[in-house]
Amino acid sequence: NVFFVQNDWYFSCFQEVYPRWLDPRYEHERYIAFSLATLEYAKQLNFRADIIHSNDWHTAMIPLYIKANYKFDEFWSKTKNVFEIHNLAYQGVWFEDILDFANMRKDIVFNEWGCEHYGRVNRITMTKSALGTEKQRKINKKLLSRCMESGRGSCIEKTNVIPNKRNRLGSQ
Amino acid at 67: K
| Residues 72-88 pLDDT 10s | 999 999 998 887 776 66
Q: What stretches of the chain show up as alpha helix (H) in DSSP?
A: 8-11, 24-44, 61-67, 98-101, 106-109, 123-130, 141-148
Q: How far apart are CA 47 and CA 66, in angstroms?
A: 14
Model pTM score: 0.72
| Residues 142-154 pLDDT 10s | 666 666 665 554 4
CB atoms within 10 A of CB 138: 6
Q: What pLDDT, on a 0 to 100 scale, did the predictor assign at position 76?
A: 95
Q: Are strands 93-94 and 120-122 parallel, antiparallel or unpaired?
A: antiparallel
